[in-house]
Amino acid sequence: MRLLIVDDEVDLLNLLKKVLVKTCACEISLAATGAKAKQLVDSWHPDVVLTDIIMPEIDGMQLLKFIRTTDPTISTIIMTGYGSVELAVKALKNGAYDFFEKPFDNDRISRIVKRALERTKLLRENQRLQQQVINNINSTGFIGNSKPIRQTVKLLTRFGESDATLLIRGQSGTGKEVAARTVHLASKRSTKKMITVNCPALPEQILESELFGYRKGAFTGADHNKNGLFLEADGSTILLDEIADIPVSLQTKLLRVLQEKEFQPLGQTETIKVDVRILASTNQNLEEKITKGEFREDLYYRLNVMSIVLPSLSEIREDIPLLALHFLKKFEAEYDRKGLSFSNEALQYLINKTWKGNVREFQNTINKAVLLATDTVLTPADLSGNVSDNVTCHTSSDIFISEKTYENTYKKAKEELLSRFTINYLSHELRSHGGNVSAAAKNSGMERQAFQRLMRKYSLKSDHFK
């Protein structure tokens, strides 16, 4: 991290450097004029600028304007003489991070500079995450950069090159429809719209007529011909979402489409040929349903030509900050609530929480928090959303204890809290040392190899803290 100090009094510059070099872990450069400061902002790229407000030629206000135009992530702290508080307030309105009056208190100025360095780091990390979110959305629709997500996207893209039937499996809320879209967009059929059928949402008779269509007079109320979704998907892709819930009586007709690429609308004796790529998804155990006689074994093998199991949110915890930012921006725009952010404690709460509903539950939590939060910084209380959750935030250690913790055995509860403490402790050390593992390990009194073992155990990446 880099700090630039600007003042036309050389003695004060040297004094400030002497004070701050001992308390702030950063490089320090000095500038005795606003012009020199502008050059260093362009060439040296400081993270924080500490500047006097009253200087000849280019004053602190002009320098602040230049910095805000050049790089708005730089945190600017204004120094004012006695009786110049009005100027400081004006500077704050124009984008300054903080101010203090001369003569200054050593401890106070050190605290302000440290907070400013941390602010800049968070702003730049936020920018990096935003760009990563944009890149991920543009390419696949998946949000994340963890190894399981990269492997999943790579495999889905490869599946897109084939026309084979694909069975997409995974827990509820893991993004099976997103996976299907990824396959479709990577295929030669991508120029046409993918058709999605929510199988459990429709009663058996309606589902049959929706899939295969019908002819006028086929049943009471059929006063016109209707083309089914398979015909609508001709030349494209159809996703049968939650295929396990299709009634056994319809499974026979579906098997014929898979085998012969043809179907027969209700009330018609002739079959219709179609060129359709079939994708199916389920969160259920099809093998168990076969054993119970609830799913045809021959249909299972026709659907399971290729298959993929999507990772749960617990397997991609390192992607949670990216997901959180993505949904925050989405709901900010939806509810016209700009300038929201997560506190460090809130992000840690999201990372530590057990998400049984996976990404869908995670998305709903952010949605509710954005809608109901009374402040611009979201806290664990905003995210828990329910007083009955009885979540207590221990800010001294960033460990979150819920009533459910006490329902576990002592050993399990202890392991759970120890894991949370370890994640928080390692994250704090890595954040404090800019992702430098050696420096973080040394400061914590651990060997580098031991520190790295813990990082691997809890899926912490040093790159996320740089």
Task: Give the CATH number of the domain where residue 397 resides.
Answer: 1.10.8.60
Whether residues 156 and 303 share a domain: the answer is: yes
Whether residues 251 and 270 share a domain: the answer is: yes
Cα–Cα distance, 385 to 388 (Å, whole number) = 9
Q: Is residue 347 part of a domain?
A: yes
Q: How confident is the model over 120-169, as pLDDT tens digits?
A: 988 887 666 655 544 544 456 788 878 898 889 889 988 998 999 999 99
Q: Is residue 427 part of a domain?
A: yes
Whether residues 185 and 208 share a domain: the answer is: yes
Q: Structure tokens of 74?
A: 């730089």
Q: Is residue 139 part of a domain?
A: no
Whether residues 26 and 113 share a domain: the answer is: yes
Cα–Cα distance, 148 to 153 (Å, whole number) = 9
Cα–Cα distance, 137 to 435 (Å, whole number) = 26
Cα–Cα distance, 342 to 448 (Å, whole number) = 30
The reported pLDDT for the residue numbered 458 is 76
| 241 pLDDT higher than 70 | yes
Q: Is residue 67 part of a domain?
A: yes
Tell which residue, 127, 105, 125, has the closest CA to residue 117.
Answer: 125
Can you give the CATH number for the domain in which 39 is found? 3.40.50.2300
Whether residues 157 and 284 share a domain: the answer is: yes
Q: Is residue 301 part of a domain?
A: yes
Contact present, 187 and 324 (Cβ < 8 Å):
no
Q: How confident is the model over 410-440, as pLDDT tens digits?
A: 677 677 677 777 887 888 888 788 888 888 8
Q: Is residue 244 part of a domain?
A: yes
The reported pLDDT for the residue numbered 399 is 45
Cα dihedral: 256, 261, 262, 265 (round 10)? 80
Whether residues 252 and 360 share a domain: the answer is: no
For residue 319, the enclosing domain spans 315-465
The single-letter code of the amino acid at 380 is P
Whether residues 209 and 278 share a domain: the answer is: yes
* Average pLDDT rounded to a whole number, residues 363-383: 89
* Average pLDDT rounded to a whole number, residues 205-217: 87
Cα–Cα distance, 353 to 374 (Å, whole number) = 22
What's the number of domains the chain is made of?
3
The reported pLDDT for the residue numbered 131 is 59
| 463 pLDDT higher than 50 | yes
Can you give the CATH number for the domain in which 268 is found? 3.40.50.300
Q: Is residue 138 part of a domain?
A: no
Q: Is residue 283 part of a domain?
A: yes
Whether residues 302 and 325 share a domain: the answer is: no
Q: How confident is the model over 1-52, as pLDDT tens digits?
A: 899 999 998 989 999 999 898 888 899 999 999 999 999 999 999 999 999 9
Q: What are phi and psi of 384, to 5 degrees?
A: -65, -35
Q: Structure tokens of 24?
A: 């702030």
